[in-house]
């Protein structure tokens, strides 16, 4: 069964897989999570702002993004980002956008919808007395959000946010559809070049599995620690 497999191909391509592929994946995951969290928090604040129109717009955005498959969204932004860039910079023709920028914009916009639901739950979990006390102390809305509500909401939701980031880490593999060399893309390139699909895909699966397992174990530990502190 394993007799005509050559696992040495993995050793030979390790530098390419990790220095190029995995660093792309991790960078994309990290920056998308950060951007998604920032935009997601803004969307959550819009939905809870009490201004009906603002809330409706934010709600529509979230529902819209959540009912589309990520693959379709990746294609959308891949073709749309050059035009958005043209519109923003006022250039005469659609601007050229690199693979990384394009996928980063995609994942930030897509994940913002998911992160905003988490942050909304987090903000709603804060008791009403907290913002009331803040405004009694003379804090403005933005001060009360910045110093009282958001830090607590973020902390309460940290395990869920991290779990969503693990999902995001796995989802970044979908940039494969644009032939971008992220970790899976790099593995697949080597696999096709050397005709070693079995070895490379098994290895890629193992790497994703180990990283996700370790990360979710870490999240469970964190959850237990946070639960004790409160």
Q: Which residues bind other proteins (CB under 8 A)?
A: 1, 64, 67-72, 75-76, 79-80, 83, 86-87, 93-94, 170-171, 173-174, 176-177, 184, 188, 197-198, 201-202, 204-205, 208-209, 212-213, 216
40 vs 171, beta carbon nearer other proteins: 171
- CA-based end-to-end distance of the chain: 53
- In the complex, least distance from residue 148 CB atom to other proteins, rounded to whole angstroms: 30
Distance CA 81, CA 151 (A): 33
- In the complex, least distance from residue 159 CB atom to other proteins, rounded to whole angstroms: 16
Q: Give the CA dihedral 79, 172, 31, 207, nearest 10 degrees.
A: -150
- In the complex, least distance from residue 105 CB atom to other proteins, rounded to whole angstroms: 16
- In the complex, least distance from residue 130 CB atom to other proteins, rounded to whole angstroms: 26
Chain centroid to CA 180: how far? 17
Distance CA 27, CA 114 (A): 19
144 vs 164, beta carbon nearer other proteins: 164
Distance CA 51, CA 42 (A): 14
């Amino acid at each position: 069964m394993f007799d005509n497999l050559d696992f040495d191909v993995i050793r030979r391509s390790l530098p390419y897989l990790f220095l190029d592929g995995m660093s792309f994946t991790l960078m994309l995951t990290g920056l998308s999570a950060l951007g998604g969290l920032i935009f997601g928090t803004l969307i959550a604040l819009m939905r809870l702002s009490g201004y009906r129109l603002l809330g409706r717009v934010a709600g529509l955005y979230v529902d819209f993004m959540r009912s589309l498959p990520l693959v379709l969204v990746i294609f959308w932004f891949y073709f749309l980002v050059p035009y958005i860039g043209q519109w923003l910079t006022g250039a005469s023709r659609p601007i050229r956008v690199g693979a990384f920028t394009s996928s980063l914009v995609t994942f930030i916009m897509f994940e913002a919808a998911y992160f905003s639901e988490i942050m909304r739950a987090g903000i709603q979990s804060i008791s009403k007395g907290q913002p009331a006390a803040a405004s009694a102390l003379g804090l403005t809305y933005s001060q009360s959000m910045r110093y009282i509500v958001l830090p607590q909401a973020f902390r309460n939701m940290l395990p869920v946010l991290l779990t969503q980031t693990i999902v995001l880490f796995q989802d970044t593999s979908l940039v494969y559809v644009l032939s971008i060399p992220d970790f899976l893309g790099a593995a697949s390139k080597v696999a096709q070049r050397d005709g070693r699909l079995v070895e490379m895909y098994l290895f890629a699966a193992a790497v994703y599995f180990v990283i996700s397992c370790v990360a979710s174990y870490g999240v469970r530990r964190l959850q237990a620690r946070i639960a004790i502190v409160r």
